[in-house]
Amino acid sequence: MFQLTAPHPVPAFSRIRPLAVVKWGGVLASAFVLAAFLTGAVFEVAPAFGFTVAQTHGISMEPHYRSGDIVLLRKAETSSIRAGDVIAYEREDGTIMHRVVEVLGAQSGEPVFITQGDNVSHPDAPVAASQVKAKLVGELPLLGPLSRLFDSEGGFMVYRSLVLGAAMAWVLVWFLFWLQRRSRARPLAAAGFAASPGAPPSDGGEGG
């Protein structure tokens, strides 16, 4: 049962450039913080466009969908549902997400759907059109592992610590980047390279 809830060899160290490490470290930290922000934004914005974001539970839809995956659902006319579609429907023990394997009675009236989990050897009880809540639109990539982390013991605390750590790392690496650029600019100014563009460097002698 699958339920839903709301290039000559050079020593490695000699190839490392501190400036590049600082720069790319900041990029990676920024990407992590952005991913964390988008994770929350998806859950807030999707309903405004008629979508429902849900988390899966169970193993009946493996290997296509794992427990803890985050999926996107949308209400659909039952007349548009075909065999092969994945639907979410209500029954006594909760909301189930299974694949439609057969559509019955579509010609004579309201359709009746025969559903079955991808990892189950037998079909479910027939599903009436009134039981159907939504059709699966797709899976939100990368969010599944994060949701499984939330479900683990202390998972949310781990995730929050990672986000805060990435934010602090972002500030630190860009501060170090700024310091390094500033320290490289000072020797140039002291050597007389801060003169106006195009002016020849002075040799200290008198003209004439």
Phi and psi torsions of 10, nearest 5°: -125, 135
In Å, what is the CA distance from 167 to each residue of 108, 151, 162? Answer: 59, 23, 9
Structure tokens at 38: 């988008």
Q: Is 195's pLDDT higher than 50?
A: no
- Evaluate whether the domain defined by 12-159 bears CATH number 3.40.50.720: no
From the centroid of its chain, how far is CA 206?
66
Tell me the per-residue pLDDT of 155-173, one tens digit each, with 9 for 90 and over: 656 666 766 676 777 777 7
Confidence (pLDDT) at 102: 95
Confidence (pLDDT) at 157: 64
Tell me the per-residue pLDDT of 1-45, one tens digit each, with 9 for 90 and over: 666 665 444 444 444 455 565 566 666 666 666 666 666 667 777
Confidence (pLDDT) at 4: 65
Query: What is d(CA 194, CA 122) in angstroms, rounded to the nearest whole number?
Result: 79
Query: What is d(CA 145, CA 163) in angstroms, rounded to the nearest whole number?
Result: 15
pTM: 0.58
Lowest mean pLDDT among 143-152, 181-190, 192-201: 192-201
Confidence (pLDDT) at 9: 47
Confidence (pLDDT) at 124: 95
159 neighbors 146 (Cβ within 8 angstroms): yes
Confidence (pLDDT) at 40: 65
Tell me the per-residue pLDDT of 61-109, one tens digit each, with 9 for 90 and over: 999 998 888 899 999 899 899 999 999 999 988 999 999 999 998 666 7
Q: What percent of the chain has pLDDT over 70?
A: 56
